Amino acid sequence: MPIATVNPATGETLETFEPLGPDGLEARLARAEAAFREYRGVGFEFRAELLRRAAGVFDTEQEHLARTVTTEMGKPIAQARAEAAKCARALRWYADHGAALIADEHPADEDTADSGAAAALVRYRPLGPVLAVMPWNFPLWQVVRFAAPALMAGNVGLLKHASNVPRTALALEEIFRRAGAPEGCFQTLLIGSAAVEGVIRDDRVAAVTLTGSEGAGRSVGAVAGDALKKSVLELGGSDPFVVLPSADLPEAVRTAVRARVQNNGQSCIAAKRFIVHTDVYDAFAAAFTAQLRALRVGDPADERAELGPLATRQGRDDLAALVSDAVTHGATVETGGVRLDGTPGQPGGDGWYYPPTVVTGVTPEMRLHHEEAFGPVASLYRVGSLAEAVATANDSPFGLSSSVWTTDPAEREVCVRDIEAGGVFFNGMTASHPALPFGGVKRSGYGRELAGHGIREFCNVTTVWLGHTN
Ligand code: NAP
């Protein structure tokens, strides 16, 4: 895949970039190693100030960053601004809380006291340069949710961003530079995915985190395993959105629409499978389909657009193929399901649009049942009981998050106990927050980002034994 900015709303290539050659890559790896030796020694106050200044750059550059993101991957402009604002909040959150999350621990108890270990402590030390292989769908946020805790812990960052968001990738490096990061602390590597293995295997690189597809996860996880390096994988999802009879139905429908189409439907934690109890199914299905059909599809730079194009032609074609496969095997398309060629309202354009689509009658024979629909396609399932809802929710290779609509505490307990996912959100949409761990189980990956769990992923948990100190 060439490293290039291609506007998904028009299909026009705006700029192409030369990938880093061997010398350029070597220079950046050397700089990262040198930077780490210095940066691991600076105090939390310096690191927190660095994050606060970076947050300030996100604030002042918000409009420019939002336009860059929308141009490169097609997210509606208001959502791009919100993404930049979220980055600033997360940076400030780690600036405020990071030091406490990895403060020294003093695990002394009666046992350790007896054995003379009363003065032992645990220190969270940084690992070194961490490679972050990142996706285009939240091209600012995915990077910041890695970078804020990593830098706060004293690691240094090497960003290999998706090949279709190079301007955003370079803007991120520039933000940390302007924030006063010591040279080499946060660098963007303009490289293709074929060069990732060599970087992971490089002795100077301590660990790798990848957010992306299952295929990329297998590949990066295998190399990291072979190189015996720590890895975190945040992969795909096909999150269930379960609606039970006690749900506030109008609110559930409104949220379901948002949860499916936010970011043009290209979110790992978007609700993708809507599992609705038969008592409320007909009312839910009618309102949900009507509200999706009514969404304004259009140029994402236009403030009125609620749904823009998919980020890549391949992504749009893959999504269309999933729906075609379902129809071939007997599913029904309730709305949408036909590629929109050209920019809506601008005949002759070549944007990669796909309409909001609802599919019913989805069965396990169909790819749509098992695979991730990365775009505005909702699968609707009718179930007769809570047990059937949970079984359907779990009938997926993924386990990222889930949303359940009920006011019944007993039903809630069953869901928390039985739904196989990294999150269970009740009466609300799945979302990420700096204070809450984020990640999945099954083929959604392993490890956690955000909160204390995220900052500790790339730490050397060091036992410090203080024997006779006098
Ligand atoms: P992708 O094709 O896997 O790309 C993600 C990143 O991995 C890109 O930087 C890509 O580089 C790189 N990459 C791809 N194949 C690779 C390989 N074999 N070895 C090393 N690096 C490789 O995914 P995407 O299409 O950008 O993003 C969509 C996927 O990400 C969806 O499945 C979505 O659910 C998932 N996602 C997960 C989370 C989460 O937190 N769990 C969050 C957001 C997105 P190139 O661009 O150069 O190919």
Reading the block at residue 222, the tokens are 């295998």
The whole-angstrom separation of Cα 101 and Cα 356 is 42
Could you tell me which of 447, 430, 437 has the C-alpha nearest to residue 239?
430
* Whether residue 185 lies in the annotated active site: no
Query: Catalytic residue among 234, 372, 411, 457, which?
Result: 234
Strand partners, 281: none
Pick the CATH number of 4-235+445-467 from 3.40.605.10, 3.30.300.30, 3.30.2350.10, 3.40.50.10490: 3.40.605.10
Q: Are 244 and 389 in contact (CB under 8 A)?
A: yes
Q: Are 150 and 458 in contact (CB under 8 A)?
A: yes
The whole-angstrom separation of Cα 359 and Cα 259 is 16
DSSP H or E segment with residue 123: strand 121-126
Indicate which residue's Cα is closest to atom 17 of ligand 1.
216
Residue 340 confidence (pLDDT): 77
Give tens-digit pLDDT for 384-413.
999 999 999 999 999 999 999 999 999 999
Q: Is the CB of 399 under 6 A from ligand 1?
A: no
Could you tell me which of 68, 70, 89, 86 has the C-alpha nearest to residue 78?
70
Q: Is the CB of 264 under 6 A from ligand 1?
A: no
Best mutation site among 172, 189, 211 for ligand 1 pocket (most ligand atoms within 8 Å of CB): 211
Q: Is the CB of 1 under 6 A from ligand 1?
A: yes
Q: Is the CB of 213 under 6 A from ligand 1?
A: yes
In the reported structure, the alpha carbon of residue 15 is separated from the centroid of ligand 1 by a whole-number distance in angstroms of 21
Q: Is the CB of 216 under 6 A from ligand 1?
A: yes
The whole-angstrom separation of Cα 95 and Cα 109 is 31
Dihedral in degrees, nearest 10, Cα atoms 396, 399, 405, 410 = 100
Give the chain's residues under pLDDT 70: 108-118, 341-349, 468-470
Give me Rg for the CA atoms of the chain.
23
Q: How many CA atoms does the CB half-sphere of 183 hold within 13 Å?
A: 5
In the reported structure, the alpha carbon of residue 315 is separated from the centroid of ligand 1 by a whole-number distance in angstroms of 12
* Whether residue 105 lies in the annotated active site: no
Q: Is the CB of 335 under 6 A from ligand 1?
A: no
The whole-angstrom separation of Cα 218 and Cα 159 is 19
Could you tell me which of 184, 188, 223, 189 has the C-alpha nearest to residue 207?
223
Q: Which CATH superfamily is domain 239-433 in?
A: Aldehyde Dehydrogenase; Chain A, domain 2 (3.40.309.10)
In the reported structure, the alpha carbon of residue 200 is separated from the centroid of ligand 1 by a whole-number distance in angstroms of 16
Query: Catalytic residue among 87, 268, 415, 459, which?
Result: 268
In the reported structure, the alpha carbon of residue 143 is separated from the centroid of ligand 1 by a whole-number distance in angstroms of 12
In the reported structure, the alpha carbon of residue 394 is separated from the centroid of ligand 1 by a whole-number distance in angstroms of 24
Q: Is the CB of 165 under 6 A from ligand 1?
A: no
Reading the block at residue 282, the tokens are 């007909």
Q: Are 129 and 208 in contact (CB under 8 A)?
A: no
Number of neighbours of residue 114 by Cβ within 10 angstroms: 9
Instruction: Determine whether 245 is exposed, middle or buried from the number of CB atoms within 10 Å of its CB (0-12, 13-18, 19+).
Output: middle
Q: Is the CB of 212 under 6 A from ligand 1?
A: yes
- Composition of the chain by helix, strand, coil, percent to 5: 45, 20, 35
Reading the block at residue 398, the tokens are 């993924």
The whole-angstrom separation of Cα 389 and Cα 248 is 17
Residue 466 confidence (pLDDT): 85
- Domains of the chain: which residue ranges? 4-235+445-467, 239-433
Could you tell me which of 353, 377, 367, 356 has the C-alpha nearest to residue 273?
377
Indicate which residue's Cα is closest to atom 42 of ligand 1.
268
